[in-house]
Structure 1
Amino acid sequence: MTTSLIEVRGVSRRYDDGPPALHDASLTVAAGESVALLGPSGSGKSTLLNLLAGLDRPDDGTVTVDGTRVDRLGETAAARYRRAKVGMVFQFFHLLDDLTVVDNVLLPAQLASTLPRAEARRRAAGLLERLGIDRHSRAYPGRLSGGERQRVAVARALMNRPPLLLADEPTGALDSASGEDVGRLLTELNQDGQTVVLVTHDLALARACATRTVRIADGRITAPSEPEPVR
């Protein structure tokens, strides 16, 4: 039987007096899936991602990730949840420019305090080697290309072995070649068993690295899925 990693049930989120950013949204994601959330700007994609990350709370409904009721978490518990269960990759990398590549990757382990220092360094070195950027371990992010910086961001997101990887427009700030490179990387990670939820405007990226696509418009999930794309 396939195990569900994510269960979103009847979720709505409103801001101010405008229309809801999400309205009665429900979504199930199995462990090991790679799901792309597609839709225009303002459709509710990033709102849903923020709810999964525990960065926001729904007004109605429930959000469960890997057995944790995320919608019930307070600020401190949500921070612990993110450190343990979620890796996040953003459009603009959010690397710390005054830290070296390896120190950026080590940061989640240092915040979580779950690994001895030597083991954390071995883990970081292994990730950088796996992602093909180990030669840049002592460099600073500003000296890297956009595609290389995004690989560092992915390594940092995977540092604590999270069951869920969230990617918000991960190729939006990259040129076409670097974007395709990151798409291949996400595909490889998913083929190795990593669960991925990806927000993108890019249908080609979704078809390349997602096993399922979910369309969102005006805060509503309008098309739950499409057939598995050919990789």
Structure 2
Amino acid sequence: MTMPVIELRGVSRRYDDGPPALREASLTVRPGEAVAILGPSGSGKSTLLNLIAGLDRPDTGTVTVDGVRVDQLGEAGSARYRRSKIGMVFQFFNLLDDLTVTDNVVLPARLAGMARGEADRRAAELLEALGIDRHARAYPGRLSGGERQRVAVARALMNRPALLLADEPTGALDTAAGQDVSRLLTALNSEGQTIVMVTHDLALARSCTNRTVRIADGRITEDIPSQAVAPQAVASEAAR
């Protein structure tokens, strides 16, 4: 059987003297799945995402992503892991306004040591594949919300990550732009990209994921796969 992209076993996390943010959570995500993490504010969704991203460590349990024991990494190792294994898309884009679209997209590759020429070629492929190559020399402030989120997705895919993490990716967008990003995520998953998305939006979860995990009070209360999981197809060269 194919090795899971994500494997959490008995993961718990408590902050200060409050109740556990996450309680004995176990979760397995396999290549080609698109998983929506649903739950009210304070349920543990963000904690789960941060543990997978190596931005936080569990008090108990293990976190393994693409063969890496993330819970055992130090600060430098966590940074290398995020550059090589995952791409992250945020609600508010997190683009650098004083850099052009291309410079925003190539940044992760440059930090990982990729030569500028190779990085520029990779960025150009991604921008073309995502339909925003005409904005390559523009600055993010000149783009619409949907276009900025596409730039953020291109940046997240720059280093060909095993896993794409999306934190409320349509939360700052209007309905039309949100539907555009939903279609983009669906297309990426159909090409084989593994996606884990935190969202409050049930319609978004239904439209572009094939599995729903619900969290309440730090516990995984429901894990519902669809009948058809996205195939583990090899992604197109531009989107891998």
Looking at structure 2, the residues matched to 64 and 28 of structure 1 have their Cα atoms a distance apart, in angstroms, of: 10
Q: 115-124 or 21-30: which moved more? A: 115-124
Matched, 1:40 2:40: yes
Do residues 177 (structure 1) and 176 (structure 2) align?
yes
Q: What's 1:106 paired with?
A: 106
The alignment partner of 2:148 has SS state of helix
The answer for unaligned runs of 5 or more in structure 2 is 231-240
Aligned partners of 1:139 and 1:117: how far apart in 2?
Answer: 19
What's the TM-score once normalised by structure 2's chain length?
0.94
Q: Indicate conservation of the 8 Å contact 2:214/2:223, yes or no.
A: yes
CA–CA distance in 2 between the matches of 1:34 and 1:226?
10
Cα shift at 1:119? 1.3
Query: Are 1:79 and 2:47 matched, yes or no?
Result: no
8 A Cα contact 1:38 1:216, kept in partner: yes
- Residue in structure 2 matched with residue 139 of structure 1 by the alignment: 138
For 1:41 and 1:135, how far apart are their aligned partners in 2?
38
Matched-pair contact (CA < 8 Å) for 1:207–1:230: no
CA distance in 1, matches of 2:199, 2:155: 20
| Aligned partner letter, 1:18 | G
Q: Which residue of 1 aligns with 2:238?
A: none
8 Å CA contact 1:36, 1:200 repeated in 2: yes
Paired position in structure 1 for 2:155: 156
The residue number in structure 2 matching 1:25 is 25
CA distance in 1 between counterparts of 2:34 and 2:92 reads 21
- Quote the residue 1:92 is aligned against: 92
Distance 1:228 1:197 in 2: 18
Q: Where does residue 127 of structure 2 map in the other structure?
A: 128
Q: Note the C-alpha offset of 1:230.
A: 10
* 8 Å contact kept, 1:207–1:229: no
SS of the residue corresponding to residue 125 of structure 1 reads helix
Q: Letter of the 2:37 partner, please give it.
A: L
CA spacing shift, 1:132–1:77, aligned 2, 3 Å = same
Letter in 2 for 1:103: D
Between the aligned residues of both structures, percent identity stands at 77
Separation in 1, partners of 2:225, 2:155: 31
- Is contact 1:21-1:219 (8 Å) kept? yes
Give the paired residue count: 230
Query: RMSD between aligned alpha carbons?
Result: 1.3
C-alpha separation in 1, matches of 2:4 and 2:56: 22
User: What residue in structure 1 maps to residue 190 of structure 2?
Assistant: 191
Shift of 1:226: 4.1
Could you tell me how far 1:229 is from its partner in structure 2?
A: 7.4
Deviation per CA, 1:173-214: give whole Å up to 9, x if none.
Answer: 000110010011000001111000000000110011101010
Q: Aligned partners of 2:124, 2:56: CA distance in 1, in Å?
A: 33
